[in-house]
Amino acid sequence: MPLAIDIIEPRPALGAGLAYGSCGTEHRLNVPADRMIVSRDAPSDFADWLRTSGEEAKDPRGRTEDGSHYPRRAVFGQYMAQLVRGAQAGNVSGSAIRHVRKSAETIEPVEGGWRVGFGDEHETYRNIVLAVTHSRPAIPWAKVEAPNIIEDPWEKGALDAIAPDASIVIAGSGLTMCDVVVSLRERGHRGKINVISRRGLTPRPQNGFAVFGKIGWQDTPPQTASELLLDLRRQIRAVEAEGGVWQSVLNAIREQLPQFWTKIPLRERARIVKHLRPYWDVHRFRAAPQVSALLEQGKTEGWLEISSGRIHGLTASNNGVRMEWTPRGGKRGVVVADFAVNCTGPDANIARSSHAIIRRALADGVIRRDALGMGIDVDARGRAYGGDGELQSGLWVAGPMARAYTGDATGLPDVSDQVRTIAESLAAALADRHRNKACAI
């Protein structure tokens, strides 16, 4: 059945998005090429493309001691753009795929479908897939307008004003912090960098991608957060006693998470998200070996210091910034630096989303926040719930905004599996209605 598919994206190229289109050439994938699986039917496609295109040979720094290759993220964005161009040029259904270079601001139900607003313009579609990326970072202090406070390090040119010898204090110690440190060092920065986060946790290093397949939680998962943690630790100890690594257990949990996550009582899932998620994130979202080595170098040489504690506030003047904080187990104090950079990660509160379409849809009752506060509420097929608790006909949500249902929809294989489920659901709906216009946003 030929379809008319519009992809609404203001960027000039399709496929890269924020993750692979807004990064510098110095930023690497945090997994090797053979783990970047867009389709389970062709698991080695990107790794093969990387070799045949010559991009692998151009990037010897991506090679690690175990023979793996961690490509630049921008290169993966090029690969994704090529896939989209190929689908536009020809596909098995004969569908027409159009790139609409606009920003979708509103969405509202109308007779026969949905109306998407682009400022003063609008267009009507039978079906919509909301596939927006993460929101901008949350701001962990009262908003302060100052040129030496960088609220969003992903804005173009955000780090340009930082001098090579400037001192920096960073809020947040996850992968965004890693990217900022990599960018600064690549630009020749040699000043002191202080990193402060609530727990001082940093992404753990990669160490192979074997999967320990005996988790067995698909049918009878632990029913409390405490049971889950105890069982996880027990299984890690068993694997390590046999010469394995903890990463293999986490890999197995990640693969099986969609099968058992919703079988855990909601109250306990909320406890897991609140108390265990910070630890899950640093073990799940691990750093490329090149990045881990740089952080260790920085700590050894003294130009990088990572601390745990609570940030109370931030003030700025022409002379720099002052961050008030209390170290874990210590007394309240102040860190003085030339610049402050916010690396706390995406804001999960969709009411504050940097995407106008999400804020408006929530306010208008088109969507509702999920019970865990991680994004948009959806069912097993990716269909969105409205503010009245009813499923919205013809409205799906893909990607990180729908991760509360599966527990994790951030990594590429996870998103690919989720999108396949949505595509099957959408195809079934189209077959029932015999309509011929769909849209992805």
**Tokens 């905004």 found at:** 401
Low-confidence ranges of the chain (pLDDT < 70): 210-216, 218, 409, 433-441
**Tokens 């070799």 found at:** 51
Query: What is the predicted pLDDT for the residue at 436?
Result: 46
> Of 220, 253, 256, whose CA–CA distance to 235 is shortest?
253
> Of 381, 402, 403, 398, whose CA–CA distance to 285 is shortest?
403
Query: What is the predicted pLDDT for the residue at 319?
Result: 83
Q: How many CA atoms lie within 13 A of 364 on its CB side?
A: 12
Every domain of the chain and the residues it spans: 4-136+348-440, 149-204+286-342, 225-284
Tell me how far apart the alpha carbons of residues 118 and 357 are, in angstroms, rounded to a whole number.
Answer: 10
Q: How many CA atoms lie within 13 A of 30 on its CB side?
A: 22
Tell me how far apart the alpha carbons of residues 369 and 384 are, in angstroms, rounded to a whole number.
Answer: 10
Pairing of strands 339-342, 168-171: parallel
Pairing of strands 383-385, 391-397: antiparallel
Tell me how far apart the alpha carbons of residues 292 and 72 are, in angstroms, rounded to a whole number.
Answer: 15
Alpha-helical regions (H) of 277-354:
277-284, 289-301
Tell me how far apart the alpha carbons of residues 289 and 208 are, in angstroms, rounded to a whole number.
Answer: 11
> Of 234, 200, 204, 203, whose CA–CA distance to 216 is shortest?
234
Q: Interior CA angle at 436 toward 433 and 441, to 5°? A: 105
> Of 424, 396, 438, whose CA–CA distance to 5 is shortest?
438
Tell me how far apart the alpha carbons of residues 31 and 411 are, in angstroms, rounded to a whole number.
Answer: 10
What CATH code is assigned to 149-204+286-342?
Answer: 3.50.50.60
CB 375 within 8 A of CB 404: yes
Query: What is the predicted pLDDT for the residue at 386?
Result: 97
Maximum Cα interatomic distance, the chain, rounded to a whole number of Å: 67
- Can you state the angle between helices 277-284 and 246-260, rounded to 10 degrees? 120
Pairing of strands 106-110, 113-118: antiparallel
Query: What is the predicted pLDDT for the residue at 434?
Result: 59
Tell me how far apart the alpha carbons of residues 129 and 424 are, in angstroms, rounded to a whole number.
Answer: 13
Query: What is the predicted pLDDT for the residue at 415?
Result: 84
**Tokens 């997994």 found at:** 31
What CATH code is assigned to 4-136+348-440?
Answer: 3.50.50.60
**What is the CA 167 to chain-centroid distance, rounded?**
28
Residue 419 is encoded by which pair of tokens? 């999108």
Residue 249 is encoded by which pair of tokens? 């257990």
Query: What is the predicted pLDDT for the residue at 211?
Result: 66
Are 4-136+348-440 and 149-204+286-342 equal in CATH topology? yes
